[in-house]
A and B are shown apart, each in its own frame.
Chain A
Amino acid sequence: MKDISNKEYKELYEQKRPKAKLSTNCLKAFCVGGLICMIAQAFNDIYTKVLGIGAVNAASFTSITMIFLGALLTGLGIYDDIGRFAGGGSLVPITGFANSVVSPALEFKKEGLIFGVAAKMFVIAGPVIVYGLSSSMIVGFIYYIVRMILL
């Protein structure tokens, strides 16, 4: 097995590898993702127009509702099938965030409520919170300095 270099082998296996069906995958992701957002829009309309909640709070309630749905579908064992079908379509909406928190919480239940459920809950979603909050604080600090100089 000395007659093939690592580089030659990489070319060989990449050429033999089944091609990802990009257009079909994108279409699935587009449709499922769009549909999830439309459901969110429907809840938002119900909260603002029917229940008369203010825009800011209605947005929060909408997020929380979508997170609940994502969590419930994960618990019922449906969200992983949606994810396998839709890929990015169910990953990017906030329901996917809920899925990434709830799935390890379920998975590690056997290790107990403290070391399992609670400790493992953010193994996948942790980076999103860390980078989201950190970046908003860093950018916020820059915003604060710039605002001080300009005013």
Chain B
Amino acid sequence: MKAYVMTFIVGGIFCAIAQILLNKTQMKTAHILVTYVVGGVVLSVLGIYEKIIDIGYAGATTPIIGWGHALMQGTIAQIEAEGLIGVFTGGLTAAGGGVAAVLLFGFIMALLFNPKTKK
């Protein structure tokens, strides 16, 4: 149960920070997402993001910042195992599943549905 409470809180905090950036700065959504991903990469290599996941469970892995962390951890693992080539192959080894899935699902949804006007 504690895991779910912490997931809610940590996930909520990442989203609330994004909301503050949206309302209080000139940043558009793309700026925020890019900042989060790059931030995830940097926090990950410094070993900080691992600790955030220990606290926040899926609240830390589900936001896009967790995708940056997954990229970085994959890169590190491949460097450890394969050397220099791991710099290039590591990211997508670990985090490629999401990209591949979104490609396929996006294509399928486009075949099935049409955009509807906003109410």
Judged by CB atoms under 8 Å, the answer to whether A and B touch is yes
Instruction: Please indicate the chain B residues that have their CB under 8 angstroms from the CB of A96 in the complex.
Output: 33, 64
Instruction: Please indicate the chain B residues that have their CB under 8 angstroms from the CB of A66 in the complex.
Output: 62
Instruction: Please indicate the chain B residues that have their CB under 8 angstroms from the CB of A72 in the complex.
Output: 105, 109
Contact (Cβ within 8 A) A60 B97 = yes
Instruction: Please indicate the chain B residues that have their CB under 8 angstroms from the CB of A45 in the complex.
Output: 3
Which bucket holds chain A's interface residue count? 35 or more
Instruction: Please indicate the chain A residues that have their CB under 8 angstroms from the CB of B62 in the complex.
Output: 36-37, 40-41, 62-63, 66, 93-94
Contact (Cβ within 8 A) B38 A132 = yes
Contact (Cβ within 8 A) A105 B110 = yes
Contact (Cβ within 8 A) B23 A107 = no
- Tell me the smallest distance from the CB of A18 to a CB of chain B, in Å: 12
Q: A-side binding surface: helix, strand, loop or mixed?
A: helix
Contact (Cβ within 8 A) B63 A26 = no
Does residue A12 face the partner (Cβ distance < 8 Å to B)?
Answer: no
Q: For the complex, what is the distance from the CA of A137 to the CA of B84, rounded to whole Å? A: 10
Contact (Cβ within 8 A) A97 B102 = yes
Contact (Cβ within 8 A) B105 A144 = no
- Tell me the smallest distance from the CB of B68 to a CB of chain A, in Å: 6
Residues facing A in B8-63 (CB within 8 A) are 8-24, 29-30, 32-34, 36-38, 40-42, 45, 57-59, 61-63
Q: For the complex, what is the distance from the CA of A42 to the CA of B8, rounded to whole Å? A: 12
Instruction: Please indicate the chain B residues that have their CB under 8 angstroms from the CB of A80 in the complex.
Output: 118
Given contacts A40-B61, A91-B18, whether A33 and B12 have CB atoms under 8 Å apart is: yes
Residue from A87, A125, A127, A143 within 8 A of B22 (CB atoms): A87
Q: For the complex, what is the distance from the CA of A30 to the CA of B7, rounded to whole Å? A: 11
Contact (Cβ within 8 A) A137 B109 = no
Contact (Cβ within 8 A) A141 B58 = no
> 9 nearest interchain CB pairs?
A33-B15, A37-B11, A88-B18, A34-B12, A88-B19, A41-B58, A34-B8, A30-B12, A75-B109
List residues of A whose CB falls within 8 A of some B CB: 20, 22, 25-38, 40-42, 44-45, 59-60, 62-64, 66-68, 71-72, 74-77, 80-81, 86-89, 91-94, 96-98, 100-103, 105-107, 109, 113, 117-118, 121, 124-125, 127-129, 131-133, 135-137, 139-141, 143-144, 147
